[in-house]
Amino acid sequence: MVQSVAGVQGASVVSSLRESIVAAYRWMLLARVLDEKFASLYRAGKIHGGVYLGRGQEALSAAVGMSLRPGDVFAPLIRDGAGRLAFGETLVEAARTYLGSVLGPMRGRDGNVHRGRPRDGYLPMLSHLGAMISVVNGMLLARRFKGEPQGVGAACIGEGATSTGAFHEALNQAGVERLPLVLVVADNQYAYSTHSSRQFACRSLVDRAIGYGVTGSALDGTDVAECLAVVGKAVRNARAGGGPQLVVARLLRLCGHGEHDDASYIDPGLKQSELGRDCLVVAEERLRADGWATEAELAAWRGESVRRVEEAVNSVQREPTPDPFQETWCALATPRMKDGFPAEASREQLPASQGSTVPAP
């Protein structure tokens, strides 16, 4: 019996969806294991400064990193470990920054989430809420002025940042200039300890899109399939000339603001609600229910993630820390800081994901 064209296409779509969800799950898992390692090192006094976990936001973050391509611009936030890895950051780079290695992309001069590779479009974040949106706008405009391919610029923020002037000014500029900006808002219910009900009065932050003349989309941030579909569509629309895209994901931060915060202010009712679902567990349940992964495969993927994280951290712990008497203190914008990275710190070469050339682990 000859299978119909529709049947072949349907099978292809299912296969592609499975591959995307498996790839996203593995990025999420790798990021979770890395976060757990950093938290352990922080409690042991081996990491100075703060440690900020992405627990509960990995699905959204992975979807952003996977939907981008080399040549795009990515400005992640403090809980975007999965997106950073999917966009091309290596485990060694992340560990080097947290542990203060002089061989890291920031050369031990800055820590935790303040890391990136500007020459690759991977931006080190600023702590000021909403500030990175205008930086992405600036890079996209600079490319336009130079006649270079703009690509897509993605900036990730929390719902707290939408209350700032920086958010308003940058999104307004992006709308006026019709920039290929994808602004992803993780509405995780709390800006540090302030609940969303004390931050904005509109039903949903996506309602603000119309006021800026941009396209708005809302999604369930605990559902990896929905994250991949909605974020992927937003990136494609921006790439095709559809102008700025505002994507708002509702979820719950499943940890404190940082490891110094016990999150005792989080409403227990929210933890028991749909928003309180762990996106990693939800993804696992989807893989099991659809027969897309066996228990043996899930265990193997976790074991592989643990092994790779341990290897990266153990290696970095043997590296030198900065010597203030040898440091030249040149600005990060100088060519030596932009281009003088160690040759071994290349992008992870891992299975192909949605839009990215950096495959899953």
What average pLDDT does this structure show over 203-229?
Answer: 96
Q: Mind listing the pLDDT tens digit for each residue in 189-203?
A: 888 888 888 888 888
Domains, the chain, ordered by start? 23-339 (3.40.50.970)
The two tokens of residue 268 are 């227990």
What average pLDDT does this structure show over 263-289?
Answer: 90
Phi first, then psi: give them for residue 225, nearest 5 degrees.
-65, -40
| 356 has pLDDT over 60 | no
Cα–Cα nearest to 122, from 151, 148, 147, 99: 151
pLDDT grade, residue 231 (50/70/90)?
very high
Q: Mind listing the pLDDT tens digit for each residue in 2-49?
A: 344 444 344 455 568 999 999 999 999 999 999 999 999 999 999 988
| 180 has pLDDT over 90 | yes
Q: Name residue, tokens 């043996």.
A: 296
| 147 has pLDDT over 50 | yes
Q: pTM of whole model > 0.85?
A: yes
Q: What is the mean pLDDT of the chain?
A: 87
Cα–Cα nearest to 123, from 91, 163, 154: 154
**What's the confidence (pLDDT) of residue 351?**
38
**What's the confidence (pLDDT) of residue 359?**
53
Q: Mind listing the pLDDT tens digit for each residue in 105-135?
A: 778 877 778 888 888 999 988 888 899 999 9
Q: What is the CA radius of gyration of the chain?
A: 20
**H or E element, residue 14:** helix 5-43
